[in-house]
Structure 1
């Protein structure tokens, strides 16, 4: 078995999200997930986060696929000291049900509506009613714009739409903006009331109930056509937002050391940045830069190890911590990702998304991907067009050889300009399986 496929202890299934109050055991100690209340934090506060991660954890800082912050390598005692340090740095955190809005809400003139007031009203209603909801239940309030949350899966979604009557909110259940089931359309006030009613139904169903449990019998589907938004770009490099630009910085595989984060904060402050925002797709956003300051920031961020090139192959990969940082991980996901970039470059020509998961849970990308590679007891499984928990088409214990064979097939068969998903469909499952497993 190759080094990228070392097996750690059997996985532990978890049902709650880690927080400062309830850290989660992982392969490298305890992990906490932080949701800052402020949309953006100053470079000074990012320096404080870096120092706390270094002092109380193992120095690794992560940004998740949903744009949350994680600190790794804690102990029970150091987690308590981390909480005290965050309070001392005046970094307020959200708790309870995750209510997510686009990272540029209120700043993007192209958005249909500012999602922040609607999200705040839902948060207040949940607190007032004391609903006991599933720990991982998520509500997305998407006002649209350049960096919308159209591709984010949620139990309940509110998507803003401009209509002749003004802004209306499409309410849907269990999915992203393309797959969720629409159940209502209302103005802001009625939309909040409707969502609170749906949350009440979920609370009545029990503390494990999710959006998928709101079937047709409980909540009929909305009749009539619905507006479908476009897929947002991965937030890497300069992004045009109105008349200005926002710089997207992606953490390599969602992880950076605190020393590099601190160096970035120092340079951004020197170059005039006043805030850094968390963003989905494991990224940070820096608004308010232009001209030479923007160019200098790109150079500085690249020097600290952040990805600044929107065309870099690694941007197409969603990857979890894997066996190096999670007790459930059955493979070294970062090693597999590096190997994939080196051995199978054809996978990244117009790739809509590649998911590498340490186990069948698929935490880094719960939805289907064009190509999913998932760890299992037998090795690395290939799931084209599916999720990590789906039955793999093929399994290998020699990832390098499998990727080389897959590359040979794709590069030989691909038509000029052919998208990856179209190529995979045309090749068919039997040829992909034979290439991955080395059988003819």
Structure 2
């Protein structure tokens, strides 16, 4: 959407840092990256008012370089802080503004928990019980910084696709709502270990966290999966098979409507955010919530104000339509913003849109990753392009760090784009999608052998 206005690195040039796994940036421990220090914020409130979002925009400009991210998991990041003192000052100003930020182990719930007309259960109360139990545990649990617990009540914006160390999914079973507890994966791939009611859920979670604690502070869900007896479950309940709706556009939630806005490349500038929030406030919006897949959800708009709100958001660079081709692209900030980045993801997305538009038909995600961490899209994607010091790695039906199907230079990839566009047309049958063409033809769709 925009480039940073200023450089906030101490030397004036962004240093190069190795790819780091397992680190989680926070106000206490900001992470050095390509455009200064990065902090990740998890607001305690389910949503913030437009005025509070305006405050965040102002703080991002004051203490950072004016760029904010919404991550694949729906967390907020402020980029470009110059030094540790700036993070401490930012923390103090957030507190003064009444914006409480959660710390500790991430316990995630669907963005409309308690409001989603299609949810199986409201996950927010159980999530709060888990947070309290972790906070009050004696001795304190030593858990991995990036360990994630998902409490998925289902619904329109369910978290069935979120990969988590420990997950609780609400299911209907025997005429009641139970919580299916599973380890290491999304709702379809995680290993189920218990099916309990809400009253039993917290003790089961704490027992698993104690097992992780005993294995060491770097342990993740996958490290204990084999130590816990699996639940004998013949099939997945239907609630676990449907993914969330596309978070771009107008989504009906019972008698009300939610306006979903996706961030191109997961990034917005403070000025864009301020203009958006000022306009939304004037149109009657009461609350804006963070959502997975690099999105914001606008609540409280009268139906008659939604078209004007969507036009305003589009003018500020947000994706407002479910059929926008850029919905098919999941990209990290890339070079110039992340020290590990070896790919200009924004440039490459533009090339794909102009030279291989049939690829972006909405049937699949194209993941553009600056490095093998794959932060923008942790799950497998039909097509992933990863930047490395040696060039590009093309991964089909996998993650950024998986073995490559093709290793080519950026120049070779640019030259292959017309062949990719032609290959989709040639390899798919009538009525098939780009995703089906990729699945059926593999690397041959590029017109070259692996």
- 2:107 matched to 1:93? no
The correspondence of residues 246-325 of structure 1 with structure 2, limited to 5 A, is: 246-325=258-337
Shift of 1:26: 0.2
Shift of 1:9: 3.8
Contact 2:420/2:446, CA 8 A, preserved across alignment: no
Alignment-derived partner of residue 50 in structure 1 = 57
Query: 1-side partners of 2:191 and 2:158: how far apart?
Result: 18
Query: 2-side partners of 1:39 and 1:345: how far apart?
Result: 37
Query: 2-side partners of 1:230 and 1:417: how far apart?
Result: 23
Shift of 1:213: 1.1
Residues 108 and 10 (structure 1 numbering): CA distance in 2 closer, same or farther, change over 3 Å?
closer
Q: CA-atom RMSD, angstroms?
A: 1.7
Q: 2:170 aligns with which of 148, 157, 160?
A: 160
Query: 2-side partners of 1:55 and 1:366: how far apart?
Result: 31
Query: 2-side partners of 1:14 and 1:173: how far apart?
Result: 20
Q: How many residues align?
A: 430
Query: 1-side partners of 2:19 and 2:382: how far apart?
Result: 27
- 2:352 matched to 1:345? no
Shift of 1:30: 0.2
Contact 1:343/1:400, CA 8 A, preserved across alignment: no
Shift of 1:163: 2.7
Deviation sequence 1:227-251 (CA, Å, 0-9, x none): 1330112200100111221000111
Alignment-derived partner of residue 358 in structure 1 = 370
Shift of 1:197: 0.8
Between the two structures, name the one with larger relative contact order (CA 8 Å, sep ≥ 6).
Answer: 1
Contact 1:405/1:435, CA 8 A, preserved across alignment: no
Q: 2:23 aligns with which of 13, 16, 20?
A: 16
Matched residue SS, 2:77: strand
Matched residue SS, 1:411: helix
Residues 38 and 117 (structure 1 numbering): CA distance in 2 closer, same or farther, change over 3 Å?
same
Residues 41 and 428 (structure 1 numbering): CA distance in 2 closer, same or farther, change over 3 Å?
closer
Q: 2:348 aligns with which of 336, 340, 347?
A: 336
Query: 2-side partners of 1:232 and 1:55: how far apart?
Result: 35
Q: Which moved more, 1:18-27 or 1:224-233?
A: 224-233
Contact 1:402/1:436, CA 8 A, preserved across alignment: no
Normalised to the residue count of structure 1, the TM-score between the two structures is: 0.94
Alignment-derived partner of residue 393 in structure 2 = 381
Gaps of 5+ in 1: 1-6
Alignment-derived partner of residue 78 in structure 1 = 86
Deviation sequence 1:87-123 (CA, Å, 0-9, x none): 1111000101000000000001211100001100111
Query: 1-side partners of 2:163 and 2:305: how far apart?
Result: 35
